[in-house]
Amino acid sequence: MMSGSVVDNTVSSGNSSAAIPTDISGQILDLDEDDDLEVFSKDTTLTDGSSFNASMQTSPASMINQYKFEEDADTKDIFVTVDNPESHVTAIETYITYRVMTKTTRSEFDSSEFEVRRRYQDFLWLKGRLEEAHPTLIAHPLPEKFVVKGMVERFNEDFIETRRRALHRFLNKIAEHPIFSSSEDFKIFLTAASGELTSHKKQGPGFLSRMGDTVKAVAAAVRGVRNRPQEFTEMQEYVEAFSQKISSLDKVTQRIVREQKEYLEELKECGPTYALWSQSEEELAEPLKNVAGCVDRCCKETEEQVKNLSDHLIPVLHEYVLCADTLKAVLRRRDNIQADFEAKTEALATKKADRDTESKVLSLAWASLVGRFPEEVKQQKIKGEIKEMRNDLDKAEDRLEWANNALKSDWTRWQKVMRTDLRSAFVDTAERNVSYYEKCLAVWESFLHSQRTDAEGNGKVDFS
């Protein structure tokens, strides 16, 4: 049974730093938040879901009302743009900020338009607060806080643009989410002046509180869950399979793009070679020049094709590699909440058994010696402890039911968005591939037509 109000959707969270996987720690640049060298974020372990407040109603009816995930594009009422990156150099650090522009018709906003500047650690703070308040909702991944050595140069324009697009997509995914978009933290992120945001960020729990949550999460992970519902086991299996497939596809696509770039560099050397050759072959001069021209035109088309793959397909694939990591973290947090509930259930059962045993022993001992008064005092104390444990258990049960309902609803929403995004990326890639090969085919067909015409005019070779 639901026992009351236990879930808080506005719990504060302090700044958290993304953990760098140990298996690649020797291959990455060790940067802190202020370096702002991120593409996508794997920081998906900010909280174990232990922070809740007794102010939110969690009856089954309120859950149904709380999680209506059907989206209607015609009713979108908040639009966010991330653009205009700027580098800032101070005596102690160099960092990048982005302009965040918001237009909205929502009544809870004081104005219809806002413009603020935010740095990466502000985006990280927002993601942390959302996950703290809603541990089993699926937050879109952020750009990573670290980069593999050799991939980019510091403040490289192409890299900054890739990162800007990723941050823009992150905020718009949050804006489209039916729960996250109504968060007070999201509103503050979009509207608060820098000083006000800094002050708000300091209101999160202290270091010791966050350490306590981490210890609880580790303990729950070690303890594990005994009776996970089948639907969440199926989710976990799906995520594992999805993660493997999308990771493989991401790696293969990146390898294809690298090979195409190498092919492009070699192709760029062909055109000038044909042109130079034409200067020493009088009878072949014209066809050689035409080949050089065809190669140059194909170079331009290939360059555009590589750019399209790099700008449109790879970011989407890598984004969903990180979405898989996010889903794994969400499922872990759900398991932690269930593990906490199971631990409290076991503790209460143990306490009741101990009470019954002590009651029999003390009853006989004190009755024969000094009467029943001391035994009654002890029993009253135990009853009070059991009542408190039962209240905690009821809250844990409510929290688990809330978490399960939230994840089931958001899972359906996420799958729909994921399939739409990937289908769109694949269709776009197919169309661009068709266009690329058609253009290259037209280039070489024009060359064949010119040679066929020249041959027929000279009465020489018939190319047909």
Residues comprising the chain, all counted: 464
- Torsions phi, psi for 13 (to 5 deg): -140, 140
Q: Which amino acid is at 109?
A: F
What is the enclosing helix (H) or strand (E) of 345?
Answer: helix 314-369
Q: Enter the tokens of residue 417.
A: 């968005």
Give me the CATH topology for the region 256-458.
Substrate Binding Domain Of Dnak; Chain:A; Domain 2 (1.20.1270)
Q: Enter the tokens of residue 13.
A: 């969270």
Q: Which amino acid is at 40?
A: F
Architecture per CATH, domain 22-195, reads as: 2-Layer Sandwich (3.30)
Render 3-29 in DSSP notation, one character per residue: -S--B-TT-------PPPPGGGGGGB-
Residue boundaries of the structural domains of the chain: 22-195, 256-458
Q: Is 88 helix (H, G, I), strand (E, B) or coil?
A: strand
What is the enclosing helix (H) or strand (E) of 118?
Answer: strand 113-119
Question: In a structure prediction context, what are the per-residue pLDDT tens digits for the chain, which is 464 residues long?
Answer: 444 433 344 333 333 333 334 343 333 334 444 444 444 545 444 444 444 443 444 444 444 344 444 444 457 889 999 999 998 888 888 889 999 999 999 999 999 999 999 999 999 999 999 999 999 999 999 988 755 444 445 567 888 898 899 999 999 999 999 999 999 999 999 999 988 999 888 886 654 445 455 545 555 555 677 889 999 999 999 999 999 999 999 999 999 999 999 999 999 999 999 999 999 988 889 999 999 999 999 999 999 999 999 999 999 999 999 999 999 999 999 999 999 999 999 998 888 887 767 665 555 555 555 555 566 666 777 778 888 889 999 999 999 999 999 999 999 999 999 999 999 999 999 999 999 999 999 999 999 988 887 766 665 545 44
Burial of residue 195, with CB atoms counted within 10 A of its CB: 0-12 exposed, 13-18 middle, 19 or more buried: exposed
pLDDT at 209 (0 to 100): 47
pLDDT at 394 (0 to 100): 93
pLDDT at 148 (0 to 100): 45
pLDDT at 172 (0 to 100): 96
pLDDT at 22 (0 to 100): 39
pLDDT at 225 (0 to 100): 79
- pTM of the predicted model as reported, rounded to 2 decimal places: 0.75
pLDDT at 89 (0 to 100): 86
- What are the Cα distances from residue 329, in Å, to 136, 168, 206, 318, 397? 9, 23, 23, 17, 21
Residue with tokens 């952020």: 142
* CA pair distance 70, 76, nearest whole angstrom: 12
pLDDT at 382 (0 to 100): 77
* Exposure letters 128-159 (e unless 16+ CB within 10 A, then b): bbbbbbbbbbbbbbbbbbbbeeeebeeeeeeb
Would 22-195 and 256-458 be classified into the same CATH topology? no
* Exposure letters 241-272 (e unless 16+ CB within 10 A, then b): ebbeebbebbeebbeebeebeeebeebeebbe
For β-strands 78-89 and 94-104, DSSP reports them as antiparallel
pLDDT at 383 (0 to 100): 79
Q: Which amino acid is at 200?
A: H
Burial of residue 125, with CB atoms counted within 10 A of its CB: 0-12 exposed, 13-18 middle, 19 or more buried: buried
* CA pair distance 127, 122, nearest whole angstrom: 9
Q: Angle of helix 230-278 relative to helix 373-458, nearest 10 degrees?
A: 30
- Torsions phi, psi for 309 (to 5 deg): -65, -40
Comparing CA positions, the residue from 2, 10, 9 lying closest to residue 58 is: 2
Q: What is the rounded end-to-end Cα distance, in angstroms, of the chain?
A: 83
pLDDT at 164 (0 to 100): 93
Q: Enter the tokens of residue 207.
A: 């270091």
Render 218-284 in DSSP notation, one character per residue: HHHHHH--SS--HHHHHHHHHHHHHHHHHHHHHHHHHHHHHHHHHHHHHHHHHHHHHHHHHTT-TTT
